[in-house]
Structure 1
């Protein structure tokens, strides 16, 4: 066992020798009460091979590394109505962003995820800052990854399309889509007013490819999963409008259909190879409950 200060807290590290469920192993090796161990698990204070685990019966195998938080979790103390920490290590932090917050600063004193994370790093005595790697629009919710140092940011930025192997969004779109699935492909370019428009032929813009799959539908709305093959600015919103079914609540490309009083677009799945370790990292969040409620029969 060794102790190390990492990720905003002090952890004790153990190497597993025998296969057994996580809770059973913790009770045997950590020397804390069942109540305290369960609280640490539920408070996301246990990591296995660097990933936070809260499942009591998680199967441990010989050679696995278990990290147990010694201090009160900074992430428990981290409170933001706009940002939820999903995963963190010394190089990256993955968050789920709410609607109404920018990915990074734009203009004076704008509410943004980067400044929220920088404040968290400062309060948890981490000598790092959040480096923006990709963006979500202010009114899009969902998963994002930030680098914690410039070297990691450079690796992610320059190798983004090789590193990220699956990104999916879910959206409520206006009207009943007839096709169950398909692909839309065209070229996207901004005009002088920064409105992105599409062209079926190369217009000097960037090729954009989006795959879609219908999850549920009513006569008024359709719940659609979009998988990005390319990641262009406003790609899903423009492609959705191109299909005649704009994203609900989209004031820029929509048709005024706004059943939930928000942009109905959520980045629910993010899969990438860790920029330093190369390990596959896969994160998902549930489809927002408010989206689902529109399709309750």
Structure 2
């Protein structure tokens, strides 16, 4: 047992529940007894599995205590403040002293965050670029001027110098960047069109975004339908006029055309799937990630002022998906 929780190492605090504690919330009593942690911090530790009662894990910070219970709260050692360099292979399309353009594979998280502290693109960039890359635009997200979702593949640009970081950040803020994505969406979309709907956090599910009537950020997506398979799946090119979280995924889902494989916005089997032959339908419904690829990225080089444009083909898994859904 430790009477005070260290900020530098993993430690724990234990407490026998006395009669004076009975009937009160676990998080409140623990916070009061420890004295050096806020109640909100204690609540988070309980909810994330760092608490036991009588030796059994509990995740409910509000449960009522009973006399004689033995409580133990574990405080994990803090993660390093700065991401660590790791040697992770990168597919680099272009590199100079100011920037790197790469083809990010699906499954690679862009920057460290709770639950993904290592194995990210930032860790790989630190390993590739060396110590001089640290702190470019911030210690925890060096070089990052835009992001792709973990399971979205495709073209990204990363800044290597303060000049490039500022110029590229400004270009994204001004929307002075060419971006085109390829998406496989359920249903038959028109030949072309636009989705114009402000996006905000879904109040019923904080992990989701949604189109909102007020309080969101304006979002505009232009699309062109490139192919239609079995009148059930559309291959769509989407061009972003804005860059909101999950923008393409939200706009297509809101319009009734969620992406194949989207774990967040595809909650039921879409009606369009019934038009597919059984074997093709099964494979499409089992596709393991959102079928979205950042195919085109164009911008002005921050130093030379030359216009650069990069295009990446569909990765192997999306090529295989296209072959499957195009079968007769």
Give the structure 1 partner of residue 7 of structure 2: none
Question: Could you tell me which of 83, 88, 91 is aligned with 1:84?
Answer: 91
TM-score, normalising length: structure 2: 0.60
Query: Would you say 1:295 and 2:326 are equivalent positions?
Result: yes
* TM-score with structure 1 setting the length: 0.66
Inter-CA distance 287–169: structure 2 relative to 1 (3 Å threshold): same
Write the distance in 1 (CA, Å) between the matches of 2:98 and 2:327. 41
Whichever structure has more strand as a proportion of its residues is: 1
Corresponding residue number in structure 1 for 2:123: 115
Ranges in structure 2 where 5+ consecutive residues have no aligned partner: 1-86, 135-141, 270-284
Residues 177, 299 of structure 2: 8 Å contact kept: yes
Structure ID, larger Rg: 2
Alignment partner of 1:182 is 2:213: no
Write the mapping of 1:92-111 to structure 2, written as runs, cut at 5 A.
Answer: 92-107=99-114, 109-111=117-119
Of residues 136, 146, 165, the one that matches 2:148 is: 136
Residues 187 and 79 of structure 1: is their aligned pair in 2 closer, same or farther, counting only changes over 3 Å? closer
Q: Given the superposition, is the C-alpha separation of residues 296 and 161 from structure 1 closer, same or farther in structure 2, using an over 3 Å criterion?
A: farther
**Structure-1 residue corresponding to 2:288:** 261
Q: Report Cα offsets for 1:16-54 as digits up to 9, x if no partner.
A: xxxxxxxxxxxxxxxxxxxxxxxxxxxxxxxxxxxxxxx
Instruction: Report the counterpart of residue 27 of structure 1 in structure 2.
Output: none
SS at match of 2:258: coil
Give, in angstroms, the shift of residue 161 of structure 1: 4.2
The total of aligned residue pairs comes to 212
Tell me if the contact between 2:175 and 2:241 (Cα under 8 Å) persists in the aligned partners.
no
State the distance in 2 between where 1:296 and 1:92 align. 41
Quick one: distance in 2 between partners of 1:246 and 1:277?
40
Q: Does residue 230 of structure 1 match 2:242?
A: yes
Q: Which runs of 5+ in 1 are unaligned?
A: 1-77
Alpha carbons 1:133, 1:157 under 8 Å: kept: yes
Task: Give the superposed CA RMSD.
Answer: 2.0
